[in-house]
Chains A and B, each alone.
Chain A
Amino acid sequence: MVDLSITWYVIPLSAVISLAYSASRYELTEKILQRATRLFITITTCMLVAFAVLWAFSFRL
Chain B
Amino acid sequence: MHWPPSVARFRLQFACLGGMTCRWHTWLARFPERSPMLLIHRRITHHPLSPVAIRTHKSPYRQGFQLEQSNSTFESHLIRCLQRAFQVTDPDPRLQLKNPQIAALLTFIIPGAGQLYQGRTFKGAVFLICILGTFLFGMQKSGWRAVYAAEVEETEHGFNNVRRSARWPLGYFAQAGMGLPATFALIQRQRFLSADNPVMADSIDGPTEFEFEGQITSGRESVDVSGTLKLESYMQGGAQNVRGVFSGTDKEGLELNFPVEPIPSERFMASPMGASARRHINVGILNPERDQAIGVLRGTTARPLMNWLLMPPDNIALGELHGGLGKTFELAVVCTWIAGLLNILAIWDALEGPAYGYGDEQDEESDGKSDDAKDDAKSTADDAQPTPATA
Binding site for B on A (CB under 8 A): 3, 6, 9, 13, 16-17, 19-21, 23-32
Instruction: Indicate which residue in B4, B123, B131 contacts A27 across the interface (CB closer than 8 Å).
Output: B123
Pick from B134, B354, B360 the residue with the most CB of A within 10 Å: B354
Contact B356 A25 (CB under 8 A): yes
Instruction: Indicate which residue in A6, A9, A19, A26 contacts B354 across the interface (CB closer than 8 Å).
Output: A26
What's the nearest-Cβ distance from chain B to residue A23, in Å?
5
Instruction: Indicate which residue in A16, A20, A21, A31 contacts B360 across the interface (CB closer than 8 Å).
Output: A31
Q: Which residue of A lies closest to B124 (CB)?
A: A23
Known: A6-B328, A24-B348, A27-B120. A16 touches B134 (CB 8 A): yes
What's the nearest-Cβ distance from chain A to residue B5, in Å?
11
Contact A9 B345 (CB under 8 A): no
In the bound complex, CA of A20 to CA of B299 (Å): 45
Instruction: Indicate which residue in B331, B338, B359 contacts A26 across the interface (CB closer than 8 Å).
Output: B359
A-B contact pairs, 24 of them (CB 8 A): A6-B331, A13-B335, A16-B130, A16-B133, A16-B342, A20-B126, A20-B130, A20-B342, A20-B345, A20-B346, A21-B342, A21-B345, A24-B355, A25-B4, A25-B355, A25-B356, A26-B358, A27-B94, A27-B95, A27-B123, A27-B354, A27-B358, A31-B359, A32-B126
In the bound complex, CA of A16 to CA of B354 (Å): 18
Known: A28-B358, A28-B359. A20 touches B331 (CB 8 A): no
In the bound complex, CA of A20 to CA of B348 (Å): 12
What's the nearest-Cβ distance from chain B to residue A32, in Å?
7
Q: Is B295 interfacial (CB 8 A cutoff)?
A: no
Give how many B residues have a beta carbon under 8 Å from the other chain's beta carbons.
Answer: 30
If over half of A's interface residues share one DSSP class (helix, strand or loop), that class is named, otherwise mixed; here it is: helix
Contacts of A13 in B (CB 8 A): 134, 335, 338
What's the nearest-Cβ distance from chain A to residue B95, in Å?
6
Contacts of A30 in B (CB 8 A): 359
In the bound complex, CA of A42 to CA of B391 (Å): 65
Q: Which of B326-364 contact A (CB under 8 A)?
A: 327-328, 331, 335, 338, 342, 345-346, 348-349, 353-360
Pick from B126, B328, B338, B346 the residue with the most CB of A within 10 Å: B126
| Pairs of residues from A and B, 8 with the lowest C-beta to C-beta distance, nearest first | A28-B359, A31-B359, A24-B345, A26-B359, A25-B356, A20-B342, A24-B349, A16-B130
Contacts of A23 in B (CB 8 A): 123, 126-127, 130, 346, 349
Q: Is B122 interfacial (CB 8 A cutoff)?
A: yes
Q: Which residue of A lies closest to B328 (CB)?
A: A6
Contacts of A17 in B (CB 8 A): 338, 342
Contacts of B345 in A (CB 8 A): 20-21, 24
Q: Which of B160-209 contact A (CB under 8 A)?
A: none
In the bound complex, CA of A23 to CA of B347 (Å): 12
